[in-house]
Amino acid sequence: MKQRCARTHSHQRQELSALTSRLRGLSRKVTGPRAAILEVLRQHPHPLTSREILDGLPPGQCNLATIYRSMHLLEQTGMVKRFDFGDGAARFELVGEGEDGHHHHLVCTRCAQVVEIGECFPAEIEQRIGATHGFKAVTHKLEFFGLCPECH
């Protein structure tokens, strides 16, 4: 039973210099704001909104429009993955080199605490669901919601 969601935090162990080198290797310019954004993402184990990224930067480092553009670029390059927790705010998390970023979260609906889930469905379930309905290359996105121990 192959499971795809085994998750490591290799992106947290990567040095900022490794991340900026990776960005350069993707033929992208490493600007001051981009390096600062990568550093904020590197220091946080859970997905952040653009506003949270801005709040993590030194004052005057860049504006929200720059963060939006940078996150779009980093998502296109595969360096970050976008998550939607159903509240209308996109969240972003670094993806380690050679990883696909596939994993799930458990989100508190009251305080927004996020827990990463290390378990996933076996690939055979995706294949069976796809075959039943004539689909190919089936993947999934799944987030869990509830009340954390502090909120219930």
State both tokens at 69.
Answer: 């553009």
| Residue 151 covered by a domain | no
- What's 57's DSSP letter? S
Domain count, the chain: 1
| Residue 63 covered by a domain | yes
| Residue 4 covered by a domain | no
The predicted pLDDT at position 123 comes to: 83
The predicted pLDDT at position 2 comes to: 40
The predicted pLDDT at position 12 comes to: 47
| Residue 88 covered by a domain | yes
- Does the pTM surpass 0.75? The reply is no
Tell me if residue 102 falls in helix, strand or coil.
coil
pLDDT confidence bin for 13, thresholds 50/70/90: low
| Residue 1 covered by a domain | no
Beta-carbon contacts of 85 under 8 Å, excluding residues fewer than 6 positions away, are 47, 91, 105, 107, 112, 114, 143, 145
Q: What is the pLDDT of residues 98-150, one digit of tens each?
A: 666 677 888 898 988 888 887 887 888 889 999 999 999 888 878 889 999 99
State both tokens at 3.
Answer: 């499971």
Percent of the chain residues topping a pLDDT of 70? 88
Q: What is the pLDDT of residues 58-103, one digit of tens each?
A: 988 899 999 999 999 999 888 898 988 878 889 999 887 766 667 7
Question: What is the domain range of residue 29?
Answer: 10-146
The predicted pLDDT at position 74 comes to: 92
CATH number for position 52: 1.10.10.10
